[in-house]
Structure 1
């Protein structure tokens, strides 16, 4: 086994961020307290990193015969959560010579919280190792070239309907909190509710989320209502006027589909859904009257 000699690169006047151990939920209950203490001690010995950096630091390299096992810590020095995918790694010496190079899928690390560190073992195929032996005191793991890193965002509401009750606010906030986090730059539409009103309108309430750093304006929205058997029953393209969702915000929007069905009271359409595109209609609106 080759143990990595740690160097403290901190210099007076430079600001660094501390990173703390973060394990996946499924690991929290199986990793012993002793092992967690070892992880935490190793993290304390790692060189400091600056705010905004994504850092990898090697702990050891162990020759397993057909593979080279390398334990590293991935540290997120950003104030945002990160998701890592295909990441190219190299092992190099102090002269910059490449000793090994391989790409790894780090999606298994899950979502990295801000200012966190997670351990992982990389297994370099021997065909990707360019030397017979990794020098004991002269190696480091580094990121190499371009790689896929995504940060996640959780938009908050803007422009809630006037006069909305505190109870309804709680319901909408709970719905928004339970939606999956978005990758930076994404835009999503989620169906909050579908019901039919006494006036014959099928009312769809949707929540639109903007995960980008630019406002997004929607002028036209094609939509199709599907019944519980996923059959298209109503389809329409709505013209929206001045509907803009600000960066990292969510907005509620209602869409009404007129029908000839007039129930005695408003009722939810359980099991129904919405396709945010136009779908050919084959059937009729079939709603039981209470």
Structure 2
């Protein structure tokens, strides 16, 4: 086993952020308090990182014969959650030369909270190592371009002023239950579909904007499907002054006229919306 030698880093407290140990729920249950203390002591020995940085530090490397095991501390220096996917790692020598390189899938690391650090073990296959033996002085680093997905938590804007607290809770529960949305994405999710006594089918959706800029919609293609997934209506709706602010969610209604007039308003269970146009026969 070879311990990694840490480089000398000049520390300016105004430029650096501290990171706290963060474990996945399943690890937090099985790891003992003594083991957690050991992890925290190792974290204290890591070189400081600056605000906004993603950092990896190797704690040790162990030759397993056909591969090298490396214990890594991944630190999130950003003030927001991070989800890492395919990340290229390299092992460098004392002169900065690349000794090994390999791509690792870090989805198992889970979502990293702001200013947190989480340990993980990675395994370099010997076929990806350029030297016969990793020297005593080595360093683990990130290399090239890689994808960091940032999950965005949106909040409602523009809700009706007279909406009841009960309806607010229903809407909030729906928003909280939607799949995570990554920074830069825009999504439309169907909230409800129902028919009124005048024969109008009203479809309500929630639009989420995870981009850094406001997004204005002028047209939205909408196809209404019944419980048998058959097309009931397909139309392109024109929206007027409809803008969703950054990191916000907004309700939008689409109405379809029918010749059916039920005695009372009712939910159309198992009906759905597809946000594209289809040809259909009336």
Question: 1:258 aligned to 2:263?
Answer: no
CA contact (8 A) 2:203 2:254 kept: yes
CA contact (8 A) 1:75 1:116 kept: yes
What is the aligned-residue RMSD (CA, Å)? 1.6
1:140 equivalent in structure 2 = 139
Give the superposition deviation at 1:8: 5.8
1:100 equivalent in structure 2 = 100
Structure 2 counterparts to residues 95-174 of structure 1, below 5 A: 95-136=95-136, 138-174=137-173
Give the superposition deviation at 1:251: 0.7
Q: Distance in 1 between matches of 2:41 and 2:269?
A: 53
Give the secondary structure class of the aligned counterpart of 1:96.
coil
Give the secondary structure class of the aligned counterpart of 1:38.
helix
**Following TM superposition, where does structure 1 have runs of at least 4 consecutive aligned residues deviating by more than 6 angstroms?**
none
Q: Distance in 2 between matches of 1:254 and 1:195?
A: 11
| Closer/same/farther in 2, CA of residues 165 and 44 from structure 1, 3 Å limit | same
1:49 equivalent in structure 2 = 49
Structure 2 counterparts to residues 1-290 of structure 1, below 5 A: 1-7=1-7, 9-12=9-12, 14-136=14-136, 138-281=137-280
After TM superposition, the structure 1 stretch with the greater mean CA deviation from structure 2, 32-41 or 265-274, is 32-41
CA offsets, 1:18-57, max 9 Å, x none?
Answer: 1112222333333333332222222122111111000000
Q: Distance in 1 between matches of 2:8 and 2:46?
A: 7
| Closer/same/farther in 2, CA of residues 35 and 281 from structure 1, 3 Å limit | farther
TM-score between both structures, scaled by the size of structure 1: 0.92
Q: Distance in 2 between matches of 1:226 and 1:29?
A: 46
CA contact (8 A) 2:223 2:231 kept: yes
After TM superposition, the structure 1 stretch with the greater mean CA deviation from structure 2, 245-254 or 5-14, is 5-14
Q: Distance in 1 between matches of 2:273 and 2:162?
A: 27
CA contact (8 A) 2:11 2:48 kept: no
Q: Distance in 2 between matches of 1:157 and 1:17?
A: 31
| Closer/same/farther in 2, CA of residues 89 and 109 from structure 1, 3 Å limit | same
CA contact (8 A) 1:8 1:46 kept: no
| Closer/same/farther in 2, CA of residues 103 and 246 from structure 1, 3 Å limit | same
Q: Distance in 2 between matches of 1:200 and 1:96?
A: 72
Q: Distance in 1 between matches of 2:77 and 2:29?
A: 26
CA contact (8 A) 2:54 2:77 kept: yes
Gaps of 5+ in 1: 285-290
Give the secondary structure class of the aligned counterpart of 1:40.
helix
CA contact (8 A) 1:82 1:150 kept: yes
Q: Distance in 2 between matches of 1:40 and 1:273?
A: 50
Gaps of 5+ in 2: none
